[in-house]
A and B are shown apart, each in its own frame.
Chain A
Amino acid sequence: MTDKFISIEGIARRYPGADSGTTTVFENLWLSMSRGEFGCVIGHSGCGKTTVLNILAGLDQPSEGAVIVDGQAIEGTSLDRAVIFQSHALLPWRTVLGNVAYAVTSKWRDWDRARVKAHAQTFIDLVGLTGSEHKRPSELSGGMKQRVGIARALSITPKIMLMDEPFSALDALTRGTLQDEVRRICLETGQTAFMITHDVDEAIYLADKIFLMTNGPGAVLAEIVENPLPKDRGRIELHRHPYYYALRNHIVDFLVSRSKTFAATVTDHDPRNVPTVRPGLSEPIIVSPPRAVEINPPQTIAR
């Protein structure tokens, strides 16, 4: 069995719906990641991927199931799990340094001012914002704001970085630069990261594992795609790699057609044993076929 650094175990999210019924966004969702891995969730809007991330962050509670991180069931938010928000969520009345320092003082409450400043400065330098420490968020461009968001998340040296479509509000050029930065930082620091995205190329470039989710309501994790591209892939030559198009086509096919028809066509889908595929030169080969359930009976699905 692989090391399960993050393990999402049978979580569900239901909302009270019309006619005293409940709407199930997703249920019986199982997902695990090892330490140092970069995972991306791709799915259409409304499949509950943001909810999954919020549950991981502790900002939201699952209706059923549990999430285990580093051997402990999570309960609420934690400084071990940093979130990079889609809307950067900087405090506009604080400077760049103030925003990062706020996170630093939250983690290390007894540090003195100089130590907090020095620590925050390290991470501001890391994201390439040296010289802008005393600017306010309103004076920064969208990309710079998100860099501050990244610096803030990294400054508390979290076990996991959670990113909710962090670059979707940025223009393509800035997005590319920031993806490079995130990739560099994650590789350098061995950071475990979990990201939600709409962008197939972003997932291919950044992720080790790509989680494909079907359409909601009643969304399921359909497939785990292992990234066959080399770990030292670069943005420029990414699309020249022989496996690139197989991988890309596989994901796009899923998003375009299979995400809609999955529930109707695949009847023997076992949420605890989601098939892992690694697209290669020809057709994707299944490296871990869905197995018959061994010991534990599948979670009973609540009605």
Chain B
Amino acid sequence: MTFSLRFRAAVVSIALFAAFLGIWHLATRSTGTAANMSPEYARLMGLTATQGKSAMPGPLDVGAKLWEHLKRPFYDNGPNDKGLGIQLGYSIARVGLGYFLAVIVAIPLGFLIGMSPLINKALDPFIQVLKPISPLAWMPLALYTIKDSSISAIFVIFICSVWPMLLNTAFGVAAVRKEWINVARTLEVGTVRRAFTVILPAAAPTILTGMRISIGIAWLVIVAAEMLVGGTGIGYFVWNEWNNLSITNVIIAILLIGIVGMLLDQVLARFTRMVTFPE
């Protein structure tokens, strides 16, 4: 009896995950009494000293804590103690806003660059210099000029997501097949209508690919940006929990960052599939 490839892959995935959890559990479990000490002193020292338990939390600790978080994702006990849902919400909102601004700027500008060889050549040196700058390097400048840490974080997201979209849009627009343009030309289609009925659909898959790269980068950068600006967001949460020495929470945050990043990517992947046309 043969199972589908999908099923077999799922079995292997689950087995690998189980093995990972098993090794993790064994590596972090208690090893019995490590040192003799008075009970009072032992209570003070905690399990790490008394039973040789690793400072690294085990999968069960993480699981229990995660369950706790999932039960109450939106509690708010003041600036340093908010639910994970709230923290993630802040991060997603920042990414969404910065990314949206980047879309508004990058796609029209990319169209212009793609359609005009002059603009392309004129802007190329600027793009080449600005593109490799780490988005976080803009942070001090943003803080100084904007004077608001939250908007600065949005600006950093904007600046990091703008490049892949800009370059992909320009490339997609410039690479539209000549024959499609010629079809529009022989039908006396005006520039604006041509841009919307021929160039946009033809370049859409490339543009969407750029947008998908951008959302990935934006989500990478938001964690670092929030560690710097502080206050709210999943990046701040990670750093705050590190200061609290709560490795459990740090691990949970890492897991959630991964899941949210995957979901964002999947959404864009779906959009890309919607505009892709078979030839």
Contacts and interface: CB of A to CB of B under 8 A. Distances in A.
A88 to B, nearest CB: 9
B201 A91 contact: yes
A85 B177 CA distance: 13
A142 to B, nearest CB: 13
Contacts of B179: 85, 87, 89
A187 B185 CA distance: 27
A91 B180 CA distance: 7
A138 B187 contact: no
Interface in A90-147: 91-93, 102-103, 106-107, 136-138
B183 A77 contact: no
Determine chain B's interface SS by DSSP, over half rule: helix
B227 to A, nearest CB: 43
Nearest to A93: B277
Interface residues of B, number: 18
A102 B182 CA distance: 14
Nearest to B193: A106
Interface string B266-279: 00000000010111
Determine chain A's interface SS by DSSP, over half rule: loop
A77 B186 contact: yes
Interface in B164-189: 177, 179-180, 182-183, 185-189
Contact of B186 (A58, A93, A138): A58
B197 interface: yes
A253 B186 CA distance: 36
B277 A106 contact: no
- By CB atoms of chain B within 10 A, which of A79, A106, A137 has the most? A106
Interface residues of A, number: 24
B185 A85 contact: no
Nearest to A137: B279
Contact of A59 (B186, B197, B277, B278): B186
A81 interface: yes
B182 A89 contact: yes
A57 interface: yes
Contacts of A77: 185-188
B198 interface: yes
Given A85-B179, A138-B278, A138-B279, A102 B185 contact: no
Contacts of A81: 186
A210 interface: no
A78 B278 contact: no
A83 B186 contact: yes
Interface in A150-166: 156
Nearest to A90: B183
A33 B188 CA distance: 24
B182 A92 contact: no
Contact of B183 (A76, A89, A107, A138): A89
A103 B185 CA distance: 11
B187 A79 contact: yes
Given A89-B180, A136-B277, A79 B188 contact: yes
Nearest to A99: B183
Contact of A136 (B201, B202, B278): B278
Contacts of B279: 92, 137-138
Contact of A78 (B180, B188, B277): B188
A195 interface: no
Contacts of B186: 57-59, 77-79, 81-83
Contacts of A82: 186
A185 to B, nearest CB: 19
B187 A93 contact: no
B213 to A, nearest CB: 22
B90 to A, nearest CB: 38
Interface in B233-274: none
Given A89-B182, A91-B180, A106 B187 contact: yes
- By CB atoms of chain B within 10 A, which of A59, A91, A92 has the most? A91
22 contacts: A59-B182, A77-B186, A77-B188, A79-B186, A83-B182, A83-B186, A85-B179, A89-B179, A91-B202, A92-B279, A93-B275, A93-B277, A102-B187, A102-B197, A103-B187, A106-B187, A106-B188, A107-B187, A136-B278, A137-B279, A138-B277, A138-B279
Interface of A: 57-59, 76-79, 81-83, 85, 87, 89, 91-93, 102-103, 106-107, 136-138, 156
User: Considering the complex of A and B, which 10 residue pairs feature the smallest CB-CB distances, nearest first?
Assistant: A89-B179, A106-B187, A138-B278, A93-B277, A92-B277, A93-B201, A77-B185, A77-B186, A83-B186, A92-B279
